[in-house]
Amino acid sequence: MTVHIGAKKDEIAKTVLMPGDPLRAKFIAEKYLKDFKQVTSVRGMLGFTGIYKGKEISVMGSGMGMPSMGIYSFELFTEYDVDNIIRVGSCGSFQEDVKVRDVVIAMGACTNSRYASQYDLPGTFCPTASYSLLSKAVSVAEKLDLPVKVGNILSSDIFYDDDPDSWKKWARMGVLAVEMEAAALYMNAAKLKKNALVILTVSDSLVSGELTTSEEREKTFTDMMEIALNLA
């Protein structure tokens, strides 16, 4: 057990899917996993381990934001010998052609956070996905005939930005969408020589102001989950 995870060492699989919401983790376990059991509930951050297509897989909430994702992914990688963490989350679109309900795979994650300052680098670090997980995700999506957009995203520390137009500068650099966790996950994976990937469904658009309804979110959520579960 660690400070923030109550599971025993052998109760977590080598591949962990991480939605932000712990109740979403419970829903994923109930909907997709066979013979699953709850392995942790410290601070209500539920985690489950079960079987998908004959392979053991875990699913656990990450919480919102880079500090929370930073804590859980670090403990999973270092204390539970997890090899692969796949975040399955939502994002807000920055681009006209990235529509609500689309699936975005984060090849890279820009950030406005100071998370990288801990490494004391003589420059700017570029947090990127694991190429093996990324290429596998793209081929799974092609095989299942699920369209995906692969590119750069922004991991922001700010949801309610004082400047409502600041996102447009990222948009001009081709950044596809915003969420709040990927860069911390990618940096932990880089530092610890592990694999990480972030798959997102577009829940809202900063371009059009459009929002998804809950049924629509459910449908695209299914597409994202099909891709993520087949990476175990």
The CA-atom distances, in angstroms, between 24 and each of 29, 65, 221 are: 9, 16, 11
Residues 198-227 that bind ligand HPA (CB under 6 A): 203-204
Residues 58 and 32: their CA atoms lie apart, in Å, by: 11
The CA-atom distances, in angstroms, between 55 and each of 33, 34, 199, 229, 231 are: 10, 10, 20, 10, 10
By CB under 6 A, name the one of 179, 195, 221, 232 that touches ligand HPA: 179
Q: Nearer to ligand HPA by C-beta: 62 or 156?
A: 156
Distance of closest approach, residue 93 Cβ to ligand HPA, in angstroms: 8
Asked about 204 being catalytic, the answer comes back as yes
Amino acid residing at 50: G
Q: Nearer to ligand HPA by C-beta: 138 or 207?
A: 207
Residue 183 is a binding residue for ligand HPA (CB under 6 A): no
Tokens 């066979």 label which residue?
A: 34
Residues 211 and 142: their CA atoms lie apart, in Å, by: 26
Span near ligand HPA by CB under 6 A; candidates 34-42, 50-58, 125-133, 173-181 = 173-181
Name the β-bridge partners of 153.
109, 177
Q: Nearer to ligand HPA by C-beta: 5 or 225?
A: 225
Residues 119-158 that bind ligand HPA (CB under 6 A): 156
Residues 73-92 that bind ligand HPA (CB under 6 A): 90-92
Q: Nearer to ligand HPA by C-beta: 19 or 92?
A: 92
Helix (H, G, I), strand (E, B) or coil at 76: helix
Distance of closest approach, residue 167 Cβ to ligand HPA, in angstroms: 8
Q: Is residue 53 classed exposed, middle or buried when 0-12, 13-18 and 19+ CB atoms within 10 A define those classes?
A: exposed
By CB under 6 A, name the one of 159, 166, 168, 213 that touches ligand HPA: 159
Name the β-bridge partners of 38.
48
Residues 98 and 101: their CA atoms lie apart, in Å, by: 9
By CB under 6 A, name the one of 12, 100, 178, 197 that touches ligand HPA: 178
Distance of closest approach, residue 222 Cβ to ligand HPA, in angstroms: 18
| Binding-site ranges for ligand HPA (CB under 6 A) | 90-92, 156, 159, 178-180, 203-204
Catalytic site residues?
A: 204
